[in-house]
């Protein structure tokens, strides 16, 4: 039997910009992606803490070190600049698998404020 587990999470990211004319996705600073273990085009769930919206999309790389978080296409209707987000990815795993869960807390400039890795055995 497989179960779904948290793989990586960015907590407290702030929306930098919205772009309704882009074809879709969320753009995330590559430093944040790396810290949370997110890969380009990986599916993520996004929770907008400010307005309680929740949606799924894929991640595209933002400029490293820029602190940029952009909501694109239809996702642009789910938030406004300054909104606080939680961005997380999941993984399906069988019993007995080891997973390193990466959780980062971002500051108000979308820089890594705190980072932790928790190894779990499913």
The CA distance from 118 to 7, in Å, is 10
CATH number (3.90.1150.10, 2.60.40.10, 2.40.40.20, 3.40.50.261) of 2-121 reads 2.40.40.20
pLDDT for res 120 = 97
pLDDT for res 24 = 78
Residue 23's pLDDT band (boundaries 50, 70, 90)? confident
Number of Cβ within a 10 Å radius of residue 29: 26
Which one from 25, 68, 89, 106 is the annotated catalytic residue? 25
Q: Is 2 one of the annotated active-site residues of the chain?
A: no
Look at residue 64 and give its three-state secondary structure. Answer: coil
Look at residue 74 and give its three-state secondary structure. Answer: helix
What are the residue ranges spanned by the domains of the chain? 2-121
Instruction: Please give the model's pTM, rounded to 2 decimal places.
Output: 0.95
% of the chain residues with pLDDT over 90 = 98
Residues 26-35 have a mean pLDDT of: 98
Q: Is 5 one of the annotated active-site residues of the chain?
A: no
pLDDT for res 64 = 98
Which one from 5, 22, 58, 66 is the annotated catalytic residue? 58
């Amino acid at each position: 039997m497989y179960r779904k587990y948290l793989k990586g999470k960015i907590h407290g990211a702030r929306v930098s910009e919205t772009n309704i004319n882009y074809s879709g996705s969320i753009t995330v600073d590559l430093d944040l992606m790396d810290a949370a273990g997110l890969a380009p085009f990986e599916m993520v769930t996004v929770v907008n803490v400010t307005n309680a919206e929740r949606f799924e999309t894929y991640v595209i790389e933002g400029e490293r070190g820029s602190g940029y978080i952009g909501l694109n296409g239809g996702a642009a209707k789910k938030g406004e600049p300054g909104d606080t987000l939680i961005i997380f990815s999941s993984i399906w795993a069988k019993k007995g698998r080891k997973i390193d869960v990466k959780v980062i807390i971002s500051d108000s400039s979308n820089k890594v404020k705190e980072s932790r890795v928790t190894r779990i055995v499913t």
